[in-house]
Amino acid sequence: MKKIKTALISVSDKKNLKQLLNILTKNKVKLISSGGTYKEITNLNYKCLEISKFTGSKEILEGRVKTLHPKIHAGILNKRKNKKHIKDLRDHNFENIDLVIVNFYPFEETLKQTKRHENILEKIDIGGPTLVRAAAKNYNDVTVITSTENYSDLIDEIAKNKGSTSLDFRKKMARLAFSETAYYDSLISNYFNNISKTIFPKKKIINSNLIGKLRYGENPHQEAALYSTNKEFDINKIHGKPLSYNNFNDIFSALKISKSFPKNTGTVIVKHANPCGVSIKKKNIDSFKSALACDPISAFGGVVSCNYKMTKNLANELKKKFFEVIIANGFDKISLRILKKKKNLRLVDISKFHIKDFLNITSFGNNILAQTEDKIKVTKNSLKIVSKRKPSKKELDDMIFAFNTCKYVKSNAIVLASDKSTLGIGSGQPSRLDSCQIAVDKMKKFTKKNYKNEIVAASDAFFPFTDGIEKLIQAGVSAVIQPLGSINDKKIIKFANDTDTILVFSKTRHFRH
């Protein structure tokens, strides 16, 4: 146990100080503080010694230097049982500081409020992290608190131990403190990387906040947790049991596709992180029905992502089927009442969710793979019509839709489409020919309408041989879009011309492994 006799308090977030000051004063702890914190403590009618009077040195450089003083850091860092340390303190007339309560300048919040570099620089805390690191290093003798969330823990600890703290408590707080300084420094490091447009620095620091532990991972024997680079998680579950690791994996896959659609348009149904139906028809209820029609069997127990607000009519359609999760840009009151009757259904509101620039990261052992997100959208300007037969506007629009959908399907990927809706999707096969067969089989099994000469096909990579494109044409495909780049491109073009098929080349490919 270590008795707390002197505490240094310097906080940016001044909430909940009174209860803390009560317990410290009750245990006759001497209080030292500076600047705004000193004013807050005295305004609350507690006795407090200003740091400048404690050190005998005034704050200088407009407050940039106030706690950076030997009397402060010697008081924190000295080993209480080390004879040389005791002598040094006695020789300099320094005293121990047993408790350090510090939270930092709001650098993260400042980044959200301004882009002005000079203002951001001033919110980089120097003294705070230095105090925290010193106290955390010397946890054997000193208690450090870095968050208002831990005030109640400190109060309970002091009350239980009559003004003292245990080694286990100090060690736990030190662990949290070093995480806090590391996170804070990572924000600053990443800020400077961002403004210099350095995507892959020599040392990459990934910062995130724990949103919550999950029941388990992909399987019950695996542990899992959800982290976010935002403090406030912007995917809001408003109904249903907790979301699982697999639920989140599907939700993220669905949102990548949904947020690529035109505003307030489009429905995607995802199963096992792959789309099994996609439609961007203008009427929302039609887009859902078309997405479902693509593969209603695979859709069973899947995730439905609606890039629009949920309404009564659509809710009545959705309630007829079993889905694990329904995502929407908000839910009106009637749709909520309808869908909440299904106890096992999770409802997720993503009206405040926005995809920002990010790196895709995957790891294995000590190794991390990182890449920028595939944000390129196919447009008419990025395409080259290479066949003799030219596409109509409708055919070209459908090909662009199919190819933009294709990039979210696990490679090898084939997407068959018409009327801006998928008809068949072949995904995740080592053989492109097998993906063609799966897409064709899905279309034949579930498509009721006769789409004569209206079916387009998209492939996420070029066809190296004519067998794949031949299979698609035999199934009724009249137009194909694929990336260029094969040594057999001329053979593919000739085959398309021989079969009177529209062939369009994209300048980019879109693998998703």
- Per residue in 254-276, pLDDT tens? 999 999 999 999 999 999 999 99
Residue range 445-456, pLDDT digits in tens: 998 877 777 899
Q: Is residue 277 a contact partner of residue 295, using CB atoms and an 8 Å limit?
A: yes
Place of tokens 């999707």: 425
- Nearest residue to 371 (alpha-carbon basis) of 504, 208, 199, 230: 199
Average pLDDT of the chain to the nearest whole number: 93
Residue range 328-376, pLDDT digits in tens: 999 999 999 999 999 889 999 999 888 877 788 888 888 988 888 888 8
Residues 6+ apart with CB under 8 A from 291: 267, 268, 269, 277, 278, 279, 299, 304, 421, 422
C-alpha span between 67 and 135 (Å, rounded): 13
DSSP string, 451-504: -TT-EEEEESS--SSHHHHHHHHHTTEEEEEEE---TTHHHHHHHHHHTT-EEE
Taking 80 as the threshold, does the pLDDT of residue 402 lie above it? yes
Per-residue pLDDT band for 234 (boundaries 50, 70, 90) equals confident
Q: Which amino acid is at 418?
A: S
pTM of the model: 0.87
For 411-431, letters b (16+ CB in 10 Å) and e give bbbbbbbbbbbbbbbbbbbee
DSSP string, 184-228: HHHHHHHHHHHHTT-SS-SS-----EEEEEES-SSSTTS-EEEEE
- Nearest residue to 9 (alpha-carbon basis) of 49, 43, 53: 49
Per-residue pLDDT band for 233 (boundaries 50, 70, 90) equals confident
Decide whether 2-195 matches 232-349 in CATH topology: no
Q: What is the DSSP letter of 243?
A: P
Which contacts (CB < 8 Å, 24+ apart) does range 161-167 have? 161/1, 162/27, 163/3, 163/4, 163/27, 163/28, 163/29, 164/1, 164/2, 164/3, 164/4, 165/1, 165/2, 165/4, 166/1, 167/1, 167/2, 167/139, 167/140
Look at 277 and 363; give whichever has higher pLDDT: 277
Q: In what order do the strands lie in the sheet with 143-145?
A: 49-50, 30-33, 6-11, 99-103, 143-145
Whether 272 is a known active-site residue: answer yes
Strand ranges, E, within 352-492: 359-364, 367-372, 383-385, 414-418, 421-426, 455-459, 477-483
Catalytic-labelled residue, pool 5, 39, 137, 319: 137
Q: Which two tokens stand for residue 164?
A: 């003292």
Q: Which amino acid is at 288?
A: F
- Nearest residue to 447 (alpha-carbon basis) of 480, 416, 486: 416
C-alpha span between 407 and 403 (Å, rounded): 7
- Nearest residue to 391 (alpha-carbon basis) of 463, 400, 472: 400
- The predicted model gives 401-413 an average pLDDT of 93
Q: Which two tokens stand for residue 329?
A: 């840009």
Query: 2-195 is classed in which CATH architecture?
Result: 3-Layer(aba) Sandwich (3.40)
- The predicted model gives 193-206 an average pLDDT of 91
Whether 513 is a known active-site residue: answer no
Catalytic-labelled residue, pool 14, 73, 239, 272: 272
> What is the structure's pLDDT at 86?
94
- Nearest residue to 97 (alpha-carbon basis) of 69, 129, 123: 69
Query: What angle, rounded to 10 degrees, do the helices at 127-137 and 70-77 form?
Result: 30
Secondary-structure class of domain 380-506 per CATH: alpha beta
Question: 232-349 domain in CATH 3.40.50.300?
Answer: no
- The predicted model gives 382-392 an average pLDDT of 94
Q: What residue ranges do the domains of the chain occupy?
A: 2-195, 232-349, 380-506
Q: Which two tokens stand for residue 84?
A: 């040389």
Taking 90 as the threshold, does the pLDDT of residue 325 lie above it? yes
Per-residue pLDDT band for 504 (boundaries 50, 70, 90) equals very high
Residue range 29-49, pLDDT digits in tens: 999 998 889 999 999 999 999
